[in-house]
Structure formats: C-alpha cells, structure tokens
C-alpha cells in the first residue's frame, strides 16, 4: 500500500534523494519561500539579499525539514547551503514544479496550499537574477530554535516505538504489524502527532490504527446515545469501559462488502477468492488494513500533523495502537524502527475527527490502457463537517477527483488532482470546513495510465488488479470529518 500523514518512497527524505538522482532539485522548502501572508507580499525595490529577504522565509517554510536533525537530506539554513543551487531554485519556482502541490487551483481553497503568489515569485526571481547576493549578515534574523528530534517546539506527551526490524537488501516484504500499548488510564484527545522512522528510506509507508485494549473492550454507542449512558453494563465490565460507553464519540459501522462495490452479486465470490489471503492476513487489522481509514499515518512530506484547537483524534483509555509497516529494500540490509509521538489536548473536549476511506477492490486495468477510470462511493449515514481530503493511488495513478452529490440533487467538485504524483500524497485541508448533510454521497474517480508512455509504469503488459504492493494498484479516497449524529 502506497500510503498517508501519513506521509512516498513515502518519506520526504527518500523523495528528495530520488529527485536529486534524476537531476531535479528537491528544494520544496526553498520554493516555498512565501505565501500570501508573508511579509514579502510586495517584491522589494532593491535587489533582494539572502540575509534580509530570503533567510526569514527559509526559517518560516524550510527549516522544519531542512536542518540538522530534520527530515530533509540537507540543510537550508546558511547562505552557503543555498547559494550553489540558486539558479535551480529559480527554475523550479518559475515553472511551479515546487513547492509540490497538485490540486487544480481553480477548484476549492485549501489551508495548506503552499503555492507562491506572483509577487513572491518575482522576489525569488529577482534574487536569482541578481546573482543570489548574500547581503549584510547584520540583516539576518535570529536563529530559529527547534526541539530536538521532533517537528514541534514542545516535547510530546507520549512516544511509542516499534521494535527494530531488519529489512533485507532485496525482495518483496509482506506488511508488518506491531501492537503497542498506550498505557492510558483515561481518555485523551490527540491535538498533534508525528510518525518518524530511524531510516525512512526503507519505510514505504506506516499507518496507525487504534484498537481497544484486550482488557477494556466496550460497545460503541448508537447515534442517539452520543453523550448519554448507553444503558446497563454487562456483568464484570470495568469502570473504564462504562465511562468509554458514555464518552466515546460516535462513528459509523463498516461492512467489508462495501469494498466490493462495482461487482455484480454473482461476481463477489470470485473477487473474494482473489483476495482471500489478504483478507485473512491484512484486512483484519484496524480499519480493514487502511481501506476504511486510519487513526494516524506516516506519509509523504513528513513532519507533524496539527489539528485546530477545537478538533482532535479520540484515543480511548486502555487502548493499543497497531502500526502497519510496509518496508522496502534499498539494496543493502538496513535496521529500522518507527516512533509515534503524540501531543494531547487540554481543557475543553474538542470535536472528534475521524479519517475514513472511500474504496473499492473491484477493478482490472487492461494492458496498455492510458486512461482507465475507476469510481467508488460512500453515503454519509449522518451529517458531518469535512476537514480534509487525501487521494491514494499507486504508480499508474493519473488523476483523482472528489464529487459531493447532495440530497437535493446538486453536485459539487470538492477536489480535482489533474496530475497525480505518486511521490507526494498530499492531505488537502480545506481553508473553511464544509458542512455535509446526512445522505450526501461522496464519489471518488481515479484515472489510471497503464501504457508504456507512463515512465513510472513497472509493466505496461500486465492486467493490473488491486493489491498492497506498489506494482499493484489501489483506489482510496480518504476524507476526514467530525460526525454530527442526531442533526
């Protein structure tokens, strides 16, 4: 599975190294030198200098990854780090290859869109055209302080780490699953999280699922029991379990047959037979192995995910985290482990976020097909507030679209990714939350390029089915919402 934060190779490091190997400059941060809120909304009249004009922007947009101890393979802190690649920076900025952002800019607005406004493009171009002058060091901003090891400035409240795993030099590996006990004695809401591997270059992706601890299993309340006691408790149920039945946020159920959408009833047995080994081994974990969603992710781009102050991910007392790890050999045996850092919310109870997936495993992409379409749908069982969208495809993914069909018959395109890039699986966070009424249908459509014209295609002669490995394909449209039962 190519998954997201997630975050990709799945890691920012592997992506940058890959781009460098192919002669492209992976200066996503350097290209993210400004946005509409930056002080450089207007290009300065005088030629920009590094210390006065560029360094503050690097601190704001680049040092999170490109610093000692960051996820990037090199630092972009000092003038010497940047001067030698100034021409390439100007090129990728002017062509809008960087910063990486693949949404159609004419559809929707997204809070994490790093696209450069025209004035900022002019500032970068002017600095490059002037010979990338260093300027006066006295104009430099104070160095930015970073917490050691993690992206956020404050230390995490809880860190869980998987045992080390030795990835062989070559071969195809099945997913690995590790259960980690949280040790929590009370319910918490996660306000920020980060997933980090010792050697991210061997981690194709990591997904984190929440599982009720073996000693604290409780039933989820129904929609009309949100915030109220669910009735009498079974004999022997713990106080923690009774509390969980009251406080646990409502989530919809899931039937794995939903993954068979697109199949006729008489075809379901044959599709089941094709995926039976996967069903028995992988889809029994978490949210059907990630097809129905996830709790947290380690995906492309790296870094921490931070939620709004009134939003968070619910983590139950006594729960475990199950980590799904997809390792990829890199030509030499490598030992790695993965850590999950959690920052907890304090104060008022936030709204519970839930990451779900719209997916199907029923498709067969013909050999040589350059534009093969596959769709899947999900009907909202209750009203919801939409926070973000995150498409997921593999190497043959060409484009991806989300459409909302409302109960009154109206349709709205929420996101269109015309040129899907396997290396960057963005989470598109809406600039303004969108209210979706009960009965809204989310329809996702992906187009696949299985032709020889696709340079990433591992085998244009193959009929391609759903599968967990990169040479196979997936269609998952993740969406993150807060559910509003009873409205």
Distance CA 88, CA 25 (A): 7
Helices 118-129 and 86-94, axial angle in degrees (round to 10):
150
Distance CA 4, CA 468 (A): 14
Using CB atoms within 10 Å of the CB of residue 152, give its burial: 0 to 12 exposed, 13 to 18 middle, 19+ buried.
Answer: middle
Distance CA 407, CA 387 (A): 20
Q: Is the pLDDT of residue 225 over 90?
A: no
| Domain ranges, ordered by start, for the chain | 12-139, 147-254+292-351, 353-487
Q: Which residue has the higher pLDDT, 309 or 122?
A: 309
pLDDT for the residue 223: 34
Q: Are strands 351-352 and 203-211 parallel, antiparallel or unpaired?
A: unpaired
Q: Which residues are CB-neighbours of 307 under 8 A, at least 6 positions away?
A: 190, 191, 192, 313, 350, 353
pLDDT for the residue 42: 52
The total of other beta-carbon atoms located within 10 Å of residue 200's CB is 24
Hey, which CATH number is domain 353-487, 1.20.1050.10, 3.90.1150.10, 2.60.120.230, 2.60.120.10?
Answer: 2.60.120.230
Q: 483, 382 in Cβ contact below 8 A?
A: yes
Report, in angstroms and rounded to the nearest whole number, the Rg of the chain calculated over CA atoms: 23
Q: 271, 259 in Cβ contact below 8 A?
A: no
Q: 261, 375 in Cβ contact below 8 A?
A: no
Determine which of 172-181, 194-203, 261-270 has the lowest per-residue pLDDT on average. 194-203
State the Cα torsion 201-207-208-209 to the nearest 10°.
Answer: -160
Q: Which residues are CB-neighbours of 284 under 8 A, at least 6 positions away?
A: none
Q: What is the Cβ-side half-sphere exposure of residue 202, based on CA atoms within 13 angstroms?
A: 25
Residue 285 CA: distances (Å) to CA of 38, 151, 210, 291: 44, 29, 10, 10
pLDDT in tens, 73-93: 778 789 998 898 888 878 887
pLDDT in tens, 420-460: 998 888 999 999 999 999 999 999 999 999 999 999 999 99
User: Mean pLDDT of all residues in the chain?
Assistant: 83
Q: 99, 117 in Cβ contact below 8 A?
A: no
pLDDT for the residue 58: 78
Distance CA 122, CA 144 (A): 26
Distance CA 24, CA 42 (A): 29
The total of other beta-carbon atoms located within 10 Å of residue 353's CB is 22
pLDDT in tens, 89-145: 788 878 888 788 999 999 999 999 888 778 888 888 888 899 999 999 999 999 988
Q: Is the pLDDT of residue 72 over 90?
A: no
Q: Which residue has the higher pLDDT, 216 or 336?
A: 336
pLDDT in tens, 17-55: 444 344 333 344 444 444 444 544 455 468 998 999 888
In this structure, whether the domain defined by 147-254+292-351 belongs to CATH 2.170.260.10 is answered with no
Report phi then psi at 61, rounded to 5.
Answer: -120, -15
| Topology match between the domains 147-254+292-351 and 353-487 | yes
């Amino acid at each position: 599975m190519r998954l997201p934060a997630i975050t990709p190779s799945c890691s920012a490091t592997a992506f940058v190294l890959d781009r460098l190997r192919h002669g492209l400059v992976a200066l996503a941060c350097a290209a993210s030198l400004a946005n509409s809120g930056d002080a450089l909304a207007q290009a300065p009249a005088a030629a920009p200098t590094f210390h006065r004009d560029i360094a503050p922007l690097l601190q704001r947009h680049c040092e999170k990854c490109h610093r000692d101890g960051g996820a990037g393979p090199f630092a972009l802190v000092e003038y010497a780090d940047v001067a030698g690649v100034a021409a390439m920076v100007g090129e990728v900025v002017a062509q809008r290859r960087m910063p990486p952002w693949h949404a159609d800019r004419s559809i929707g607005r997204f809070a994490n869109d790093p696209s450069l406004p025209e004035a900022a493009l002019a500032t970068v171009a002017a600095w490059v055209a002037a010979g990338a002058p260093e300027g006066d060091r006295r104009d430099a901003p104070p160095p930015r302080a970073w917490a050691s090891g993690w992206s956020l400035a404050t230390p995490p409240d809880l860190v869980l780490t998987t045992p080390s795993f030795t990835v062989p030099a070559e071969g195809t590996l099945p997913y690995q699953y590790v259960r980690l006990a949280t040790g929590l004695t009370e319910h918490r809401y996660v306000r920020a999280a980060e997933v980090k591997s010792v050697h991210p270059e061997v981690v194709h992706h990591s997904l984190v699922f929440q599982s009720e601890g073996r000693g604290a299993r409780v039933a989820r309340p129904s929609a009309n029991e949100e915030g109220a006691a669910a009735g009498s408790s079974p004999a022997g149920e713990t106080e923690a379990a009774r509390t969980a039945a009251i406080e646990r946020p409502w989530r919809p159920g899931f039937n794995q047959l939903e993954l068979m959408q697109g199949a006729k009833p008489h075809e379901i047995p044959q599709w089941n037979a094709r995926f039976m080994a996967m069903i028995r081994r992988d889809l029994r974990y978490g949210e059907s192995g990630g097809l129905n969603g996830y709790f947290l992710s380690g995906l492309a781009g790296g870094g921490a995910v931070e939620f709004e102050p009134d939003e968070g991910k619910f983590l139950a007392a006594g729960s475990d985290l199950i980590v799904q790890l997809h390792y990829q050999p890199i030509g030499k045996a490598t030992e790695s482990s993965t850590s999950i850092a959690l920052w907890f919310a304090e104060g008022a109870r936030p709204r519970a976020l839930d990451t779900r997936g719209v997916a199907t495993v029923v498709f067969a992409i013909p050999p040589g097909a350059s534009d093969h379409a596959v769709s899947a749908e999900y009907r909202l069982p209750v009203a919801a507030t939409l926070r973000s969208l995150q498409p997921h495809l593999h190497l043959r993914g060409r484009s991806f679209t989300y459409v909302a069909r409302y109960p009154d018959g109206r349709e709205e395109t929420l996101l269109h990714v015309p040129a899907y890039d396997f290396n960057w699986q963005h989470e598109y966070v809406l600039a303004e939350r969108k209210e979706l009424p009960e009965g809204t249908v989310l329809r996702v459509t992906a187009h696949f390029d299985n032709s020889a014209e696709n340079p990433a295609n591992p085998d244009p002669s193959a009929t391609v089915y759903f599968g967990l490995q990169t040479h196979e394909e997936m269609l998952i449209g993740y969406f993150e919402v807060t559910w509003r039962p009873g409205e």
